[in-house]
Amino acid sequence: MAMLRPTYNDLMEVTNRDVNEGEEPIVKSRYSVVIAAAKRARQLVDGAPALVKERDEKPLSIAVEELYEGKVRILGEGPDAKES
């Protein structure tokens, strides 16, 4: 079985890299990354354009790459979180 690269831990680090010390991280678990990647993959399946150069035809792989490159962001939870 091939390992998914980047890993979900890598995606958590990328998502949380702009969080200042003492602030709550945007993503606290791999589950949040999995849900975000799945939602984006569904958008791709439904016809949304890919935001990265497609090296793979699989929507989930494209979604993971978009998250890793920062083309798609995971928004924090709470009253200030807005969809973009």
Domains of the chain with bracketed CATH: 1-15+27-75 (3.90.940.10)
State residue 80 phi and psi, 5-degree precision: -90, -10
pTM: 0.78
**Percentage of the chain lying above the pLDDT 90 cut:** 46
pLDDT of amino acid 4? 61
Higher per-residue pLDDT: 66 or 56: 66
List the one residue out of 25, 18, 3, 12 whose CA is nearest residue 68: 12
